Amino acid sequence: MKRFLPDGVYRALRVASRVGFRRAYKQVQVNPQRYFAQVKNRLGLPIESWDDLRYVSDEDLKPHADRVIHSAARIAALEGMGLGLGGLVTALPDFGILAAITIRMLQRLSLTYGFQYATNEELASLWLAAASAAGLDFSRDLLEKQAAERLVPKIVDQVALRAGAEVADKWAARLVPILSAAAGSGLNYWFVRSWGRRAQRHFLERRELLRLKPQGSGPRLLPSESPT
């Protein structure tokens, strides 16, 4: 692949990506209880637990999931426009903020589709979704072969490196500060939106796998069911 930036800049962006995603992994945390209340209010369905949410149809969840992706992409675009005015110099701190926006979006999507991340195993599943969004192929069998607390940092690093490689060429426009505001805005929007869509497909596939497994006696909600 042809490179439009010097090797030193590529290395700096990859380092910034790794630092940003590691920091987000440790610090970014959506409040599950508060978010559940928001989802319940949006859906208008009689759900009382995360297990109930898994029985809501994909079609009913899609509008809310789409709003999560659009909102995150819009915030990323505004952030990219602001910091983009400084050109490539601001690309490094920008990546840290971009990583936080991306991880918060992935957490919200995970919760929207009924997947928590309170345990180490659930957290590993969340980062497998991030890997899927990054175009990486990590088998879920890894969860059985390696302890989740050791596996997750490895996935975080691979996701961060892929993120750095994915956007490095597209940040070449930041070498021209006058053009960098529009370039930064568009790039951030594209990055977050594309990762959000890939993660959304990942969660939909997980839900489909759950449907194929024997179900317990938990409550089932009809599509578009309204509280009485």
What percent of the chain has pLDDT above 90? 26
* Residue 115: closest CA among 102, 100, 132, 128: 128
Express each pLDDT in 179-217 by its tens digit.
Answer: 566 666 778 888 899 999 999 999 999 999 888 776 544
Confidence of residue 34 (pLDDT cuts 50, 70, 90): very high
Segments making up each domain of the chain, as ranges: 7-212
State the alpha helices, DSSP H only, in the chain: 7-27, 32-43, 50-53, 58-84, 91-112, 120-133, 142-145, 148-168, 177-212
Q: What is the pTM of this model?
A: 0.79
Given a cut of 50, is residue 80 above it in pLDDT? yes
